[in-house]
Structure 1
């Protein structure tokens, strides 16, 4: 048995890529990016979250999205915000929709600043093709930065991580 030449693999791979469907992302308006940054809670403060929100704003603006940031929303305000954005008529002229939520959370839910949970499923359900037809067949991305369990994760020192060392010839 003789294995096929590498050229056959490359040919197959590139023909496969050409048949894959992709989302159109070349319109004059890429889309909206919502950033919900819950920092101040009754019992705690999420230190460092503002830096994360600033970096998200920077990256998504650089990618051509119209970024809107909301800070310290209660559970009701988060739901109201999703309901408002679900009805935005401008979605039809956009390529995608992105929502980033930075908050405390539990499995399958995020907290509003009033310490009440909001189901992630409820939040994303506002943007189905049935409830938001302007975004039908367009990518809708939700990034959730919130604990999703009860286990405490140990912090990792940057200097002790094996990948932090430079590997190569100087």
Structure 2
């Protein structure tokens, strides 16, 4: 249906190779025998309104026109309850804030959240229904060159970015109490509903956390690892999840310069958004750049491979379409 007259005819021919179909729908043969060229009978075989001109365009893009473009929420877990400190994570949070504010997003940060607080904060940002909760999560807003106390109630725009900087294990990220919150639960918090302000809008999750204890072929002293002790849309459409490392492996973070993944991501966004490249293309360059880094003086001893683990984007996402 809707793929042109020739394709429609071939499909009808194929149907007639089945005896049961032929017996049940004898009119199919009549349609084909009357005229193999374009005719009212053949046209009726393909319902009106399903022609090529009305099919979605291949290069259809998400429309990002709101001001701000949307929210960028950063959950930045630095100080854990066992006195573990994720040195360098503030550098990541700052770079993310700089880049996404430049792209036109309102950037908010929640610092040092337990598992339950992370879950509650994400539910709050998914709905933005309970305004009284804003202060409960000690939300800071990026203003110029620093994070300050946020006073204004946030609103959703045309896109949503969620950045989680924490320790993790396979399939989960950890709160500062070391309790795990599954990545699947995080993304499903933002599933489409009739009431959701983000229905049909792109939701991008950028996760800097280990996904296990394996090292991809020694960690030098100056590196730390983020590991622990249509008229309708599918519920889980319009989501992209990019993670610093593949399953079962560590993700590395420099205590001064920040993590390999986040720093590469921010650099690539700055460079490539200027030429209006889409997010999937940019993430491909991020994956390559991270894969080229060495965590040891011995070549190939310590490597990392970033991963796009889930991508249900239905359109092309260009974060910089509004830029000159």
Q: TM-score range by the shorter chain?
A: 0.7 to 0.9
SS across alignment from 1:135: coil
Aligned 8 A contact 2:173 2:182 in 1: yes
2:167 match: 104
Distance 1:144 1:132 in 2: 27
TM-score by structure 1 length?
0.76
After TM superposition, the structure 1 stretch with the greater mean CA deviation from structure 2, 26-35 or 130-139, is 130-139
The answer to whether structure 1 residue 95 and structure 2 residue 135 are counterparts is no
Q: Which has the higher contact order (CA 8 A, sep 6+)?
A: 1
> By percentage of residues, which structure has more helix?
1
Pick aligned residue for 1:73 from 113, 126, 131: 113
Superposition CA RMSD, Å:
2.3
After TM superposition, the structure 1 stretch with the greater mean CA deviation from structure 2, 80-89 or 110-119, is 80-89
Aligned 8 A contact 2:113 2:176 in 1: yes
Structure-2 change in CA distance of 1:132 and 1:39 (3 Å): farther
The answer to whether structure 1 residue 82 and structure 2 residue 122 are counterparts is yes
The answer to whether structure 1 residue 30 and structure 2 residue 69 are counterparts is yes
Report how far residue 19 of structure 1 moved: 3.4
Report how far residue 27 of structure 1 moved: 2.3
User: When the two structures are aligned, how many residues end up with a matched partner?
Assistant: 143
Report how far residue 157 of structure 1 moved: 5.5
Aligned 8 A contact 2:162 2:204 in 1: yes
Structure-2 change in CA distance of 1:160 and 1:58 (3 Å): farther
Pick aligned residue for 1:61 from 78, 101, 105: 101
- Map 1:1-170; keep pairs closer than 5 Å: 19-41=58-80, 42-88=82-128, 90-91=155-156, 94-130=157-193, 133-152=196-215, 154=219, 156=294
Residue-by-residue CA offset, 1:64-108 (whole Å, 9 max, x unaligned): 0000011110001000101111212632xx110010000000111
Aligned 8 A contact 1:86 1:132 in 2: no
Provide structure 2 residue ranges, at least 5 long, that are not aligned to the other structure.
Answer: 1-56, 130-154, 221-293, 300-324
Q: Greater Rg, structure 1 or structure 2? A: 2
